[in-house]
């Protein structure tokens, strides 16, 4: 019997010129490879969208930007979809404030403009002097390990 190609598109597998029963068994065994690949791909968990609320710190903002970049890459977002998903990251009160301050929808703006608008409303500005004083006043407790201090 002549050699038989795998019926799956883009698969290069071809059996040798063997008996019909052996060729049928080889094709059946090879089809299991394709079903395993589909099964493994189906188990990938969906990436969670990062969330943001008002009165956050600059540290939380940096973490949010990092998570957003990972989310955009994982979901393969481009163009207007990035802006829409970025707006969906905001909780409801922040989203309402964004809409009010923009005077309407933000979906027609660029990603950079939307990020700047979100940062203005979501991040609480911190005075570096206050942070320095707080750091200066920190004291290690008697039984507190150095790593926890």
**Residue 5: strand, helix, or coil:** strand
Distance set, CA 95 to CA 79, 106, 110 (Å): 20, 10, 16
Judge contact between 47 and 75, C-beta under 8 A. Answer: yes
The pLDDT tens digits for 32-49 are 877 665 555 556 788 899
d(CA 35, CA 137): 62
Q: Which is nearest to 3 in space by CA: 30, 28, 24?
A: 24
pLDDT digits 0-9 by tens, 62-76: 999 999 999 999 999
Q: For each of the chain's 149 residues, which pLDDT tens digit applies?
A: 678 888 888 888 888 888 888 888 888 888 887 766 555 555 678 889 999 998 889 899 999 999 999 999 999 999 999 999 999 999 999 999 999 999 888 999 999 999 999 999 999 988 889 888 988 999 988 888 888 86
- Cα 44 to Cα 59: distance, rounded to the nearest angstrom: 30
């Amino acid at each position: 019997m002549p050699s038989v190609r795998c019926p799956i598109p883009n698969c290069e597998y071809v059996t040798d010129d063997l008996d019909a029963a052996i060729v049928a068994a080889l094709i059946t065994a090879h089809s299991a490879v394709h079903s395993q690949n589909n099964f493994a791909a189906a188990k990938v968990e969906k990436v969670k969208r990062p969330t943001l609320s008002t009165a956050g710190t600059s540290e939380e903002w940096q973490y949010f930007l990092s998570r957003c970049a990972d989310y955009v890459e994982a979901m393969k977002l481009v163009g207007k979809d990035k802006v829409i998903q970025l707006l969906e990251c905001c909780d409801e009160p922040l989203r309402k404030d964004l809409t009010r301050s923009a005077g309407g929808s933000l979906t027609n703006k660029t990603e950079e403009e939307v990020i700047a608008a979100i940062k203005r409303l979501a991040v609480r500005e911190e005075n570096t002097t206050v942070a320095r004083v707080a750091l200066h006043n920190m004291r290690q407790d008697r039984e507190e390990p150095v790593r926890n201090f």
